[in-house]
Amino acid sequence: MPHSSGGGSHGGGSHGGSHGGHGGSSSTSHTRTYFPGAHHYAYYKNGKVHHFYNKEPITEASIKKNKVSFRIATIIWAVFYLFMFSALVLGTAFSHPTVPNVRYSDKDIYIEDNLGIFTDDELDDLYDALEEFQDITNVTPYILTIRNKDWKKHYSDLESYAYDEYLELFDDEMHWLIVFSSDQDDEWEDWYWEGMQGDDTDPILTDHNVDVFRKAFHKYLLDDDISVSDALIKSFDKMEEGLFESNVSWGALIGGTLGIAFHAGIFYLGIWSVFGMNIKTDKLAFELPEAEKKYQEDTCEYCGGMFIHGIHISCPHCGAALPPADGPIFVQDPAKLS
C-alpha cells in the first residue's frame, strides 16, 4: 500500500513521511505457597528470613543443571536480539538506494493542473524534469494541483486525500504522486502539499532521499520569487544530486537501538527470574525438616537480623552467639546454618 513521502503547508511547516502501510524439571520452580509433597526451604538476605517451597529437592546437580539452562537461554536471547538489531535497526538506519527492478505497464507521466498555475513553457520544463527522474529511477511521477476546498469537504488532512487518490489513480506501487493544494489568495496564499509513494518505490525513494526533496521543495515554496513549477524542478534536481549515495538515518538508528534494548532488557528479566534468581537463592537455601510447619522467627539482639528459632547456635548475620534455644536443634548443613 502507498505511504506518505512527507508534506507541509504555508503556515504549519513540513512533516516527514512514514514507511509501511496504513522427567524432573529442568529448573527449580519456587513458590511461596505450600503444596502437598513440597520441600520447605529458607534463606537469609538483608537481615530477613525468606521461605519458599520447591517440588524437587535442591542439590548440587540441580543447581548445575539450572546454570546450564541459564547459559543456553542467555545465548538464545543474545542471538535472537542480535538478529533483530541487524535486521530491523541496521536494515532501516543504513540505506543503499537502488533502482527498483519492478515491471509495470502504466508509465505515462501526468501533470493534472486543476489550479491552472503552470504556463505552457513551465509545463514543458516540468515534463522534461519528470521524464529525467523516471529514466533514472524507474518510478513514474504524477503531479496534481487542486483547490483546498475540493479536499477539505471530505478530509481532515491532505495526506488522507492523497492516499485515497493514489489508490484511485494507480493499480501498481511504482508511482510517486505529489499533490499541491492552494486557495490562490493574492495576499496570503494558504497552500499545502503532500507526497504519496507506492511501496515498490522504497528502494530508491528512501527516507533520506525523500527528506532531501521534502526540505528543498518546502524551502522553495516559501520563496515568493520561485514558482511552483521551478520549486518542483529544483527539488528533483537537488534529490538527484545524491540519489544513489549510501546514508545513515541517525534517528532510526538511535530510536531503533533504544527500542530493541528496552525489549531485550524486559525479556532478559524474564530469563533471570526463571533461572538466574533461582540459582542465587538455591545456593543460599537450606531445607527445613517439616514442610508444613510455620517456623518461629527471632531477632538478634546485636545486629537486629531475623533468623529461624531453634536451629542456630550463632547469628547467621553477624556471628554473635545466641542464647540456648527452647527445643531441639537440628543441623542439616553446618556451613549454612553457622
135 and 284 together in one domain: no
Residue 129, domain member (yes or no):
yes
| Contacts with 75 (C-beta within 8 Å, 6 or more apart), sequence order | none
For 232, the grid coordinates are 518542483
Min mean pLDDT across 78-82, 199-203, 217-221, 290-294 is at 290-294
Exposed, middle or buried, 264 (CB in 10 Å: 0-12/13-18/19+)?
A: middle
Confidence at 291, pLDDT banded by 50, 70, 90: confident
Do 221 and 279 share a domain, yes or no?
Answer: no
Domain holding 195: CATH number? 3.10.310.50
Whether 319 shows a pLDDT value over 80: the answer reads: yes
pTM score of the predicted model: 0.59
What pLDDT was estimated at residue 29?
63
Q: Which of 297, 277, 280 is nearest to 288 (CA)?
A: 297
Q: Is residue 323 part of a domain?
A: yes
The residues, ordered by sequence, that sit 6+ positions from 265 with a Cβ below 8 Å of its Cβ are: none
Task: Tell me whether residue 24 is in a domain.
Answer: no
* Residue 61 sits in the same domain as residue 191: no
Domain count within the chain: 2
320 band by pLDDT with thresholds 50, 70 and 90: very high
Provide the β-strand partners of residue 180. Answer: 145, 193
Residue ranges of alpha helices (H) inside 94-223 are: 120-137, 148-152, 158-169, 207-221
CA atoms within 13 A on the CB side of 37: 2
Locus of grid cell 485515497:
164
More confident residue, 293 or 151: 151
In a domain, 119, yes or no: yes
325 found inside a domain = yes
The boundaries of the domain holding residue 144 are 3-19+97-248
pLDDT in tens, 209-225: 999 999 999 999 999 99
Q: What is the pLDDT of residue 212?
A: 95
- In a shared domain, residues 240 and 129: yes
Average pLDDT over residues 28-47: 85
Statement to judge: residues 134 and 206 lie in one domain: yes
Q: Are residues 136 and 208 in the same domain?
A: yes
Statement to judge: residues 217 and 131 lie in one domain: yes
Q: Both 38 and 171 in a single domain? A: no
Tell me, yes or no, whether 239 and 116 share the same domain.
yes
Same domain, 142 and 14: yes
Rounded to an integer, the average pLDDT of 113-120 is 96
Answer whether residue 261 is part of any domain. no
Residue range 66-112, pLDDT digits in tens: 888 888 989 999 999 888 887 766 666 777 899 999 999 999 999 99
Residue 14 domain-assigned (yes or no): yes
Residues 215 and 322 in one domain: no
Q: Which of 232, 248, 264 represents a domain boundary (last residue)?
A: 248
Domain boundary among 248, 283, 318: 248
**Are residues 12 and 41 located together in one domain of the fold?**
no
Does residue 255 belong to any structural domain of this protein?
A: no
